[in-house]
Amino acid sequence: MLWLTSIYAELLYAEQSSATGPHIQVQLVSEYTQLNPTQTNWIGILLKPEPHWHTYWRNPGDSGEAPSMQWQLPSGLSVGEIIWPIPQQINVAHLVNYGYEGQNLLMLPLTFTSSAQYQLGQQIEIKVDLSWLVCQEDCVPGWATLTKTFEISNQQQPSAFKPLFAQTRQRHPQAQKLSGRYEITDKHIVVSANPPTSEKWQLLPLKSSIIQHNKPQQIVASTPTQTSFTVLRSDYFIDDKQPIEFLLSDGESAYYLTAQYNTGLTTAAVGTESPHLALILLMALAGGIILNLMPCVLPVLSIKALSLQQQNLPTLTKFAYLLGVLISFNLFALAIVIFRQGGESLGWGFQMQSPWFVALMAFLFLAIALMLLDQIKISNGLTNLGQSWVSSHGFASQFATGVLAVLVASPCTAPFMAASIGVAMVSPPLQTMLIFTSLALGFALPLTVIFCLPKVAKLLPKPGAWMESFRQFLAFPMLATVIWLVWIYLNQTNSSAQLILLSALLLFALFCWLAQHSKGGLKVLCGLAIIACIVAPFYFSKTQVAIEQKTQHTQSYLKYDANKLAELKANNQVVLVNMTADWCITCKVNEQVAFNSSQVQTALADDSVHYMVGDWTNKNSQILSFLQQYQRAGVPLYVVYAGNHSEQVLPQLLTPAMLIEAINLAKKELNHES
């Protein structure tokens, strides 16, 4: 048991500057071996977790807990705030935490006040009560009292840790402070600021109750004078119009940002500091042209161009593709203007923030890939709309190609697009429409030129047998896009929803193949099955959300109490004990996956079953005593009791079936069933 009680390191390492707990070593260190009363002295807490274990930043994210320090200093000394190194994002299941893997030093300034009266050569003692949390799949808290004695001297000698202090300073946020503004919508916080150039900025709030940490952030507007970020609000966000503090980080450098409340995004980006409108329109035109080269778009347009280069198209038909592109882009711009007037903030590709749209796009790109591989060859019915861009040459086909091209291009951003769209997002409605029209003209220009100028069309490779191989090769960029979309869908939902989508995509491809080899009624059944595959992810994802929302609000439990547990066991009751903590990653995953399932909720609703929760978020001697009974140093711990007859210690990673089986087994034992 000595290894367990080492979490109370102050008992084992009294009057020492270092301590060891499970999976971590901690130490009170200083930059110099002496303290100089005439200048700022730097001390620090060195945290050295074992490989693959981590500690936490000041805002731990979805779970976890930052180190805490209570200093005991002689009179005349004061210690400043912790200087936190730039944290890294730590993904565990569907949770996102902020912290440090490996060794990290938390530096603090130590200064002498004007009233300090010390003599050179005098010895003084500094003491700190330290608590921490170290996590991998499970989390183990620890406590220690660290003590270090210093001599007062004007002549300082570097300590062995001085190089570490220098290295840590390189990992601190920049001294420059940024200011910005924010506005709020029903679901989002929109933050506008002017950070230095970087493509990987991410907003990390200093408080955990501001945003949903595991949801993607989007840059909705970027100009030379302003960048706007859209992040999903936390369910615990309080709209008090107070300033919000963030760390703006790209992983390598960071700035502290204070955002003041604003009734709406500033439109200064369109003022005198903005590039001239003509320049913005030219940038949009160039961006639209380059957008044709994006992996999602190029296969569609390549096949269309090659299939039409030998066709003599009517004049109106030649411009049908351009018309489809113009209408699609302007409908997009109109949606942005309308939503902006209603207080919402949207950006290019905003529809990609919707899981249902991402799923539909995955089906669309899979269908295109199957067409390119000759697995969809239906020449009539609704599906003809999907393949008309390959084989037909009429006005409707050309127009549909333009709409389809814009649809598949919407997730992409080409060079020159970011700045022009950024200005469009904060411009008056007329300028917004002009910028998107220019973008549409650039996007439609290459293929329209090919359609209208026979001399240009002759520069394309001659048709031949190579086109068949080339067409089939282009299916693979489509399949790669499907993989990317499924990955986005996972980030927006959860692993269960992703599995449903993947299964539906597989069955979709299977029934498309079967439809090619079927006739009559069986072909109709395959068509219905294809529709069912597309609908299934939306139905099951909504059902799962409804179940989770219901169980989160109906779940009830008893607060852990040793006497109450003993009473229930003496009365031959089934008791499920869940030892958890808010900072425990595995605990949170199990709550979502196992405890919140409808089957487990039904089992816990039985009058003969009692659900008892011990919350170890803060120190609790009763819970520690319970953990020690089972030789555990931390949570989670799950135990099912069949009265005083037996007990089952469950694994740390749970499934609904494990919980239900354990509860039923306890019931049988109490009922003397075999």
Q: Residue 259: is it exposed, middle or buried by C-beta count within 10 angstroms (0-12/13-18/19+)? A: buried
Strands 123-135 and 68-72, sheet pairing: antiparallel
Distance CA 138, CA 637 (A): 10
Distance CA 553, CA 555 (A): 6
Q: Which pLDDT does position 459 carry in this prediction?
A: 63
User: Which two structure tokens, joined as six digits, stand for 489?
Assistant: 């869908």
Domain end: 417, 450, 474, which one? 474
Q: Which pLDDT does position 491 carry in this prediction?
A: 67
Q: Say whether 126 sits in a helix, a strand or coil.
A: strand
User: What's the length of the chain?
Assistant: 674
For residues 462, 468, 473, 477, the Cα torsion angle rounded to the nearest 10 degrees is 80
Q: Which pLDDT does position 332 carry in this prediction?
A: 79
Distance CA 615, CA 582 (A): 8
Note whether residue 389 is domain-resident.
yes
Distance CA 87, CA 90 (A): 9
Q: Are 637 and 580 in contact (CB under 8 A)?
A: no
Are 208 and 130 contained in the same domain? Answer: no
**Which residues are within 8 A (CB) of 536 and not within 5 positions of it... i.e. 6 or more apart?**
500, 504
Domain end: 236, 266, 296, which one? 266
User: Which two structure tokens, joined as six digits, stand for 277?
Assistant: 């409108």
Are 282 and 430 contained in the same domain? Answer: yes
Give the residue carrying structure tokens 């803060």.
Answer: 618
Are 192 and 89 contained in the same domain? Answer: no
Are 126 and 200 contained in the same domain? Answer: no
Q: Which pLDDT does position 9 carry in this prediction?
A: 39
Are 107 and 215 contained in the same domain? Answer: no
Are 22 and 115 contained in the same domain? Answer: yes
| Beta partners for residue 218, in sequence order | 230
Phi, psi of 333 (to 5 degrees): -65, -40
Distance CA 498, CA 486 (A): 7
Distance CA 15, CA 647 (A): 42
N-term to C-term CA, the chain? 37
Note whether residue 516 is domain-resident.
no
Give how many domains the chain has, as a whole number. Answer: 4
Q: Which pLDDT does position 7 carry in this prediction?
A: 40
Note whether residue 79 is domain-resident.
yes
Note whether residue 535 is domain-resident.
no
Phi, psi of 642 (to 5 degrees): -105, 80
Q: Are 270 and 428 in contact (CB under 8 A)?
A: yes
Q: Say whether 194 sits in a helix, a strand or coil.
A: coil
CATH number, position 567: 3.40.30.10
Mean pLDDT by 10-residue block, N- to C-terminus, for the chain (674 residues)?
Answer: 37 66 94 93 96 93 91 93 95 86 95 86 93 88 93 92 95 91 82 79 91 82 70 83 92 91 48 57 81 67 58 71 85 76 54 73 82 64 40 68 74 56 68 85 81 67 63 78 81 76 89 82 84 81 50 66 91 92 76 86 89 84 84 84 90 89 89 60
CATH number, position 224: 2.60.40
User: Which two structure tokens, joined as six digits, stand for 378?
Assistant: 């239906």
User: Which two structure tokens, joined as six digits, stand for 383?
Assistant: 């599906």
Nearest one of 381, 380, 388 to 321, comparing CA atoms:
388
Give the residue carrying structure tokens 């592109």.
Answer: 325
Note whether residue 524 is domain-resident.
no
| Beta partners for residue 48, in sequence order | 25
CA distances from 587 to 62, 133, 346, 575, 624 (A): 12, 14, 36, 18, 16
Are 292 and 400 contained in the same domain? Answer: yes
Report the amino acid identity of residue 43: I
Q: Are 135 and 67 in contact (CB under 8 A)?
A: no
pTM of the model: 0.50
The helix (H) or strand (E) run that includes residue 621 is helix 621-629
**Which residues are within 8 A (CB) of 510 and not within 5 positions of it... i.e. 6 or more apart?**
none
Q: Are 24 and 142 in contact (CB under 8 A)?
A: yes
Phi, psi of 204 (to 5 degrees): -115, 110
Are 75 and 137 contained in the same domain? Answer: yes
Note whether residue 541 is domain-resident.
no
CATH number, position 91: 2.60.40.10
- Sign for the CA dihedral angle at 499, 502, 505, 509 comes to negative
Domain end: 169, 185, 215, which one? 169
Q: Residue 33: is it exposed, middle or buried by C-beta count within 10 angstroms (0-12/13-18/19+)? A: middle
Q: Say whether 584 sits in a helix, a strand or coil.
A: coil
Distance CA 105, CA 83 (A): 9
Query: Which residues constitute the domain of residue 88?
Result: 2-169
Note whether residue 495 is domain-resident.
no
Distance CA 43, CA 406 (A): 58
User: Which two structure tokens, joined as six digits, stand for 96?
Assistant: 């996102």
Are 212 and 90 contained in the same domain? Answer: no
Q: Which pLDDT does position 271 carry in this prediction?
A: 36
Are 251 and 351 contained in the same domain? Answer: no
Are 197 and 141 contained in the same domain? Answer: no
Q: Which pLDDT does position 224 carry in this prediction?
A: 58
In SS3 terms, 228-282 reads as EEEEEECCCCCCCCCCEEEEEECCCCEEEEEEEECCCCCCHHHCCCCCCHHHHHH
Distance CA 491, CA 481 (A): 16
Are 281 and 395 contained in the same domain? Answer: yes
Note whether residue 285 is domain-resident.
yes
Q: Residue 373: is it exposed, middle or buried by C-beta count within 10 angstroms (0-12/13-18/19+)? A: middle
- Region of 465 on the Ramachandran plot (φ > 0 left; ψ -120 to 50 alpha; else beta): alpha
Strands 637-642 and 558-559, sheet pairing: unpaired
